[in-house]
């Protein structure tokens, strides 16, 4: 469960959240929508404990795995090694195949396209067994086929788990079964 109670948060003089309340039950799937600068990523960072509220409380129960806005791949490790960092070798082969990345398993991140790096980030987050999965713009740089394939893998692995996503297209929220929450 995740609960925000009267959370206030600012970056300097700019108020991002003012008396923000939100409850996300175990197994809920939500997508945060809103204009740029409205606090979507800040909400995710508060959930992960990367930011602290100025006032109010954020309560989180469960392990978290995340796809950040940036891919955050280890540049000195191959695709296989980046994913195996959180999972076993057999799981790595299966998810690479599901995300159309089998041929890139021994490639370093610097040789990947933006969409390929994004799918590696998704794979790594999904293979870290967690209660809560956070996706901050997971489909950036992906074409429609790869969005559909990634959504299928997300749905399969996160079934009955809590999912919180930031997306810019409502149709993509539907692909991963999320209800929308406006900020």
pLDDT confidence of residue 36: 85
- pLDDT for 168 equals 84
pLDDT at residue number 169? 87
DSSP 8-state class, residue 110: G
Q: What is the mean pLDDT of the chain?
A: 93
Largest CA distance in the chain: 49
CATH classification (class only), 66-176: alpha beta
CA distance readout (Å), 169 to 137, 152, 172: 10, 17, 6
Q: Right CATH number for 2-62 from 3.40.50.300, 3.40.228.10, 3.20.20.70, 3.40.50.880?
A: 3.40.50.300
Domain-wise residue ranges, the chain: 2-62, 66-176
pLDDT tens digits in sequence order for the chain, 183 residues long = 999 999 999 999 999 999 999 999 999 999 999 888 889 999 999 999 999 999 999 999 999 999 999 999 999 999 999 998 887 667 788 899 999 999 999 999 999 999 999 999 999 999 998 999 999 999 999 999 999 999 999 999 999 999 999 998 889 999 999 998 888
Whether 66-176 and 2-62 are alike in CATH topology: the answer is yes
Which residues are registered as beta bridge partners of 7? 20
């Amino acid at each position: 469960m995740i609960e925000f109670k009267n959370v206030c948060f600012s970056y300097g003089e700019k108020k991002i959240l003012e008396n923000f309340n939100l409850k996300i039950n175990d197994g809920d799937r939500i997508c945060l929508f809103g204009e740029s600068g409205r606090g979507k990523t800040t909400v995710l960072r508060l959930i992960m404990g990367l930011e602290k509220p100025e006032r109010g409380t954020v309560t989180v129960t469960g392990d978290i795995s995340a796809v950040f806005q940036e891919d955050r791949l280890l540049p000195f490790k191959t695709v296989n090694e980046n994913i195996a960092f959180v999972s076993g070798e057999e799981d790595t082969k299966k998810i690479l195949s599901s995300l159309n990345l089998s041929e890139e398993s021994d490639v370093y991140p610097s040789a990947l396209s933006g969409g390929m790096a994004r799918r590696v980030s998704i794979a790594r987050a999904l293979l870290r067994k967690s209660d809560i999965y956070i996706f901050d713009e997971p489909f950036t740089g992906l074409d429609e086929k790869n969005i559909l394939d990634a959504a299928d893998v997300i749905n399969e692995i996160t079934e009955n788990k809590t999912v919180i996503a930031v997306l810019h297209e409502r149709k993509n929220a539907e692909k991963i079964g999320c209800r929308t929450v406006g900020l």
